[in-house]
Structure 1
């Protein structure tokens, strides 16, 4: 049962199933609890920017507790699709571009939802999606074709799904895209050979919303044929299209679908219900708890504190020239932009049962922190000026002309010592069916920034958005840029604390920010060419009109602290196939603020039987350092960390030379060399 999430409704429907149906099989109640349930946490892309898997697990655990108190037993999360194209709106829903980090986040979320025991009344069944390679949609256009080699699948796109399966995820959702000419929902190689055969997945597979009926649009058959393809491929549950209901009886009678196939699918779904304890207590404790007790599970002080903590740790400081941040409340500050007082968009897309009216806007947080009338405010512009797009997104509009709005903002800026512009996207501009061909600031936002820049006042840009944006002009001309994503219920409090130095930003990007749309797709762990870029050499791999390098690389993020890394030290220059070596650095806080740093380990395989990426993330550790404090950070490097899927799709490490990098981002060149014997 989908989208029913109040205890009274769940109890009534479950009573009907138990008391009135022939077999008395209990219902399972599913809902999109993606980044929180009633308490909303940062969007998944923001959560991944914390690089704190323990924190991410706690957010999933809190979401599960709230969802279970609303009668839910199944969530359609986590989304673990690797995304390297910011035109694709659903980049907001995942952990970015890296398979290793994506796998760590996937494990954490599955553990948080399921809590090691699905009979726990506060646990819910996880559903890993979208299987598979959905994030590689051509041109970044949602639902589009995906086409890649098996080697790229195994090495770059499949690891997060596999990690979630290994963590015990109870269900998997198929993706909308085709793979090797067959939609994922009807792809036997994907669901039967790979997922169940190679990975040993024993849970059930559910299709995405109407995915079976959509197979007819892909052109692989009529209603009867696509139902046959889907069930024989291993799709156990048909979400919404009702093609199984309509077609399977005749398909079984005709012999095109074996009765044993139907039995196997039913058994997998029934096993999930059994593991959830639904056969012993179909209500999972709801009838034994009062409405007051259940309501008391929602938006508790602990949950709100966790939401604020996650929001703070998700924020990425992209620029801070002249240490304009943190701000001083003793100065006159103008807060300008359509998102300053906004609540609705703070919760982001897929905000479940969350009520945006309970989200704390930045303006409300400032008033709570400093009192009313402390700061200047101007709207500055509408978020979007294109009327059809504004109507589609259902955005509010100020009827004044763009010139009038900008003029008012300039007047406020001229009265201030510092300007804070709060701009970006509405929540509907990222997420499902929200692909964009222009990933810059839309409408008159750019014109507003240019006008504010001309005042000569320092300008801080606070971004609220669900994808990487193209910010070349902003980076070149503004004094500071703080990426806050859509930070959830406690967004305003978190942003205010970061802006005024009560919290030190420690987030790091998990997806590359391009300089412009022409660089897309762009990601750090790319392959080299036979003609890698060389300055002043014409026939090398480059653009005529832009650098190869991104604006902000994967793993990048500043803070109010300053960290210095020693050279990489290795315990040995050689590693045996059954051995390991230790790689270490000393990290020092040379700044004035205590702060956290994400120390990142990358490895490069110098020569392989197939081409290898220029760098791959293989580990990370988050450390806290006081001003003047130093700490040695050690990583154990094993042959398994050097292994990859070769031309025969065998996973193995190959002897030869390697570089190990340890630094503050994927752009680091702080490295040492070793040989695997």
Structure 2
């Protein structure tokens, strides 16, 4: 289509030159974009206009307008693509780096890969969903409560940190060309949206003006005003009785009128349908769609509620001219992305596919994984481990050898993922013996051991499975592709070609084989899938055991034939399925501990994964509900095993993978070392090993408060910020926001506060010295406190910088606090200047008596 468009463009420009008539101005790249957009929209019928406001906009062949799907994701690298891509650490881990330059570079690299994929797919005639240049990232909602499963997608609980990282991400993604966007970023979910997942389609959020303007809106404002983000996604929930995508205050007064946002707004997927299906604020699709467009929701992601706009026009609910205003915003983005111009005019059109997973991108994924790791405890300097003094290491736990946990959610597939076990094994080589015991699953006490043999599975006399693929989700009609496959073990991106034109979207498949066991006894089949998967044995659908893992048991008889059928359905997004066979046993905590007690050190790799925390999931087990959590403790089965490992008397290092804050009261009191490794992306395992053995000095800092338990938290559905996050929490956390240890020590001194002559700003300088014996990075954090006669934060982050210092080296760090940083939000939501004494704290974390005594924090006052 792009070649055809270029040809049409050339012919029409020729007609302009020869005949002197601009018969098709929108294809003339010499004209201003506004003029081109007006010309294009003016040529469309009402039905064509409406079709272009759906996320899956069809082609308009008579004008040479190519089809375009607005939906793409780039949370921590290009997601859901059939191309191999670089997987960087999850967003919450990027926040833990406190490094805006690293985040900016990550976004540059991700947009390089996205551009290469887009142009390759366009030239091959395979455009579509998850191949476009409009990325619905970043998620800048405030992680106000650690129970929210999607908090892993955010940059944490603080508005300043979130805004700083978000702006860097947007600028890296969108590029700096004066004419063309490299890609389009989208700030989501606007606004006052952070769980629970189970009622997001019905929930009506209500907050006071102070919380709205002090917590929920600042990051969005910064991305719109400072970051120049070109897209915004409105949220599912309502806000004071109006759905967010049709909200007077949020959409019209604040976003468009107050902040002067000129980009496009897309609904969250299905949010417009929620107007009449779940919120019950509108009678039908026509009324809902008209109201959404009138409030500035330009693109509808969903099942096509906007098709009812034609009816809305007939009913007088909206005019065609009002529809035009939204449509023009959408086409302006497409023009700025260069979609209607020859490739030689677009500076990003020749980025080659060789950038995908290139060495620089992989190196940066490792760098960010290292930077993100937070050392929470290191009693008696157990870490770093010395390979020369250790003979045997035991690696235990459900996340130790799990690749999927490192990818989190909204991910693409890299060519290789390094698990923690692999990283440790490669680090020590043959120098140290490494033994591995899974011990338990993530949330249940089953342990599966694979014993798969190809020879046990045959179809029609040949080893393997007969695979039948259908381009529908009901296994209907004749299969579009049939073939013999050796095993069932696949990871496909959305829309990937399986063969013979079958793609992984709205697809189903059946794998058939005959299992002939070579011995009598219980056999366990494991069936992992991202979507619906069913196992039939001898024509009978099997019931699984386990809570999040799919295990199926068979009392097998040696030599007997058991017909097996695997039925799989994939609707959209990534497509994953793996079939395995082995032995299932109940976990024996004491036995596992006994098996590793002769090790010099035990490394337990556990925590959570995106299998149990994420977006509107079906998981409802102890501690978890629909993607959220009802407890912030680590799952009880892991606690049980940790206690037995601790009882061995050997030092236990807890390497924790998580997308949220966990209650670590027992772990912190008993275990000598704790590393928070988050979901580290493709290089996460290598980064863990680098930190454990001292090849990288840990420098991550918490972007969240780690509370003791849910007893510290208000009701999950209460959006008031009272007693939430470090800014308002009056209790004592296990680990505070901004916290993180190092293998070296840093001293702060010579704090100077210099107000400007007009008193509108203050320059703050401090000298930081590495007083330890190891090179390391420090994150200097500046907090401001100004108690008033109305509610203000206890303290608030207003600046941070990451620096590297060698042993004995010093550096003077400078911050400038402007009138914006020296303001507070009053009860009405207005920003007012601070008055009276303003306390400035500068150090390696939030101020505390212990930090001040150790000289890792200094304080001063401004009057």
**TM, length-normalised to structure 2:** 0.69
More strand by share: 2
Q: 1:580-606, CA deviations, whole angstroms, 9 ceiling, x for partnerless residues?
A: 333333322222211111111111113
2:113 to 58, 63, 66: 66
Q: 1:461-484, CA deviations, whole angstroms, 9 ceiling, x for partnerless residues?
A: 001111111111110110100000
Cα separation, partners in 2 of 1:591 and 1:31, compared to 1, 3 Å: same
What residue is the counterpart of 2:805 in the other structure?
A: 625
Quick one: distance in 2 between partners of 1:304 and 1:408? 39
Which moved further from structure 2: 143-152 or 505-514? 143-152
Q: 1:136-194, CA deviations, whole angstroms, 9 ceiling, x for partnerless residues?
A: x3699655442201221111111111111121111111111111111101112211211
Quick one: distance in 1 between partners of 2:348 and 2:164? 37
What count of residue pairs does the alignment treat as equivalent?
635
Contact 1:118-1:275 at 8 Å conserved across structures: no
Aligned to 1:75, the other structure's residue is in SS state coil
Quick one: distance in 1 between partners of 2:400 and 2:582? 14
How much has 1:639 moved relative to structure 2?
2.5
Cα separation, partners in 2 of 1:465 and 1:287, compared to 1, 3 Å: closer
What residue is the counterpart of 1:117 in the other structure?
A: 177
What residue is the counterpart of 2:549 in the other structure?
A: 390
1:117-156 equivalent positions in 2, closer than 5 A = 117=177, 123-135=182-194, 137=195, 144-156=203-215
Quick one: distance in 1 between partners of 2:338 and 2:215? 37
Quick one: distance in 2 between partners of 1:350 and 1:581? 41
Quick one: distance in 2 between partners of 1:59 and 1:287? 17
1:375-454 equivalent positions in 2, closer than 5 A = 375-385=434-444, 387-391=546-550, 400-404=584-588, 406-433=589-616, 434-454=627-647
Contact 2:180-2:336 at 8 Å conserved across structures: no
What residue is the counterpart of 1:43 in the other structure?
A: 90
Aligned to 2:63, the other structure's residue is in SS state coil
Cα separation, partners in 2 of 1:612 and 1:509, compared to 1, 3 Å: same
Contact 1:413-1:457 at 8 Å conserved across structures: no
Quick one: distance in 1 between partners of 2:761 and 2:260? 29
Contact 1:118-1:277 at 8 Å conserved across structures: no
How much has 1:23 moved relative to structure 2?
3.5
1:610-621 equivalent positions in 2, closer than 5 A = 610-621=790-801
Quick one: distance in 1 between partners of 2:581 and 2:244? 41
Contact 1:380-1:448 at 8 Å conserved across structures: yes
Quick one: distance in 2 between partners of 1:437 and 1:19? 46
How much has 1:565 moved relative to structure 2?
2.5
Quick one: distance in 2 between partners of 1:515 and 1:284? 57
2:275 to 215, 220, 228: 215
Contact 1:69-1:286 at 8 Å conserved across structures: no
Cα separation, partners in 2 of 1:379 and 1:394, compared to 1, 3 Å: farther
How much has 1:628 moved relative to structure 2?
2.3
What residue is the counterpart of 2:384 in the other structure?
A: 326
Q: Does 1:34 align with 2:72?
A: no
What residue is the counterpart of 2:163 in the other structure?
A: 103
Cα separation, partners in 2 of 1:177 and 1:597, compared to 1, 3 Å: same
Cα separation, partners in 2 of 1:338 and 1:397, compared to 1, 3 Å: farther
**TM, length-normalised to structure 1:** 0.88
Cα separation, partners in 2 of 1:414 and 1:376, compared to 1, 3 Å: same
What residue is the counterpart of 2:760 in the other structure?
A: 579
Aligned to 2:163, the other structure's residue is in SS state helix
Contact 1:175-1:185 at 8 Å conserved across structures: yes
Cα separation, partners in 2 of 1:139 and 1:224, compared to 1, 3 Å: closer
Cα separation, partners in 2 of 1:283 and 1:235, compared to 1, 3 Å: farther
1:463-482 equivalent positions in 2, closer than 5 A = 463-482=656-675
How much has 1:525 moved relative to structure 2?
4.4
Quick one: distance in 2 between partners of 1:287 and 1:323? 49
What residue is the counterpart of 1:266 in the other structure?
A: 327
Aligned to 2:656, the other structure's residue is in SS state strand
Quick one: distance in 1 between partners of 2:771 and 2:196? 45
Contact 1:439-1:468 at 8 Å conserved across structures: yes
Cα separation, partners in 2 of 1:500 and 1:654, compared to 1, 3 Å: closer
How much has 1:26 moved relative to structure 2?
3.3
Cα separation, partners in 2 of 1:377 and 1:576, compared to 1, 3 Å: same
What residue is the counterpart of 2:31 in the other structure?
A: none
1:245-284 equivalent positions in 2, closer than 5 A = 245=307, 247-281=308-342
What residue is the counterpart of 1:316 in the other structure?
A: 374
Q: Extract structure 1 runs of 4+ deviating beyond 6 A.
A: 16-19, 282-289, 392-398
1:535-574 equivalent positions in 2, closer than 5 A = 548-566=731-749, 568-571=751-754
How much has 1:254 moved relative to structure 2?
2.1
What residue is the counterpart of 1:179 in the other structure?
A: 239
Cα separation, partners in 2 of 1:579 and 1:229, compared to 1, 3 Å: closer
Quick one: distance in 1 between partners of 2:581 and 2:438? 11
Quick one: distance in 2 between partners of 1:617 and 1:455? 42
Contact 1:35-1:41 at 8 Å conserved across structures: yes
How much has 1:527 moved relative to structure 2?
4.4
Which moved further from structure 2: 658-667 or 640-649? 640-649
Quick one: distance in 1 between partners of 2:581 and 2:204? 36
Cα separation, partners in 2 of 1:445 and 1:225, compared to 1, 3 Å: same
Cα separation, partners in 2 of 1:248 and 1:140, compared to 1, 3 Å: closer
Cα separation, partners in 2 of 1:668 and 1:583, compared to 1, 3 Å: farther
What residue is the counterpart of 2:142 in the other structure?
A: 82
Contact 1:172-1:204 at 8 Å conserved across structures: yes
Quick one: distance in 2 between partners of 1:600 and 1:288? 40
How much has 1:120 moved relative to structure 2?
5.5
Quick one: distance in 1 between partners of 2:661 and 2:419? 22
Contact 1:26-1:282 at 8 Å conserved across structures: no
Q: 1:344-387, CA deviations, whole angstroms, 9 ceiling, x for partnerless residues?
A: 21111111x324x6211122223333336731211111112183
What residue is the counterpart of 1:508 in the other structure?
A: 701
What residue is the counterpart of 2:353 in the other structure?
A: 295
Aligned to 2:147, the other structure's residue is in SS state coil
Q: 1:556-614, CA deviations, whole angstroms, 9 ceiling, x for partnerless residues?
A: 00011112223744336xx7764333333332222221111111111111325x32111
Quick one: distance in 1 between partners of 2:213 and 2:57? 42
How much has 1:207 moved relative to structure 2?
0.3
1:25 to 65, 72, 76: 65
Quick one: distance in 2 between partners of 1:54 and 1:199? 26
What residue is the counterpart of 2:787 in the other structure?
A: 606
Cα separation, partners in 2 of 1:391 and 1:185, compared to 1, 3 Å: farther
More helix by share: 1
Contact 2:401-2:421 at 8 Å conserved across structures: yes
1:243 to 290, 296, 305: 305
Cα separation, partners in 2 of 1:284 and 1:317, compared to 1, 3 Å: farther
Quick one: distance in 2 between partners of 1:634 and 1:287? 36
Cα separation, partners in 2 of 1:87 and 1:419, compared to 1, 3 Å: same
1:661-672 equivalent positions in 2, closer than 5 A = 661-668=841-848, 670-672=858-860
Cα separation, partners in 2 of 1:120 and 1:202, compared to 1, 3 Å: closer
Aligned to 2:387, the other structure's residue is in SS state coil
What residue is the counterpart of 1:305 in the other structure?
A: 363
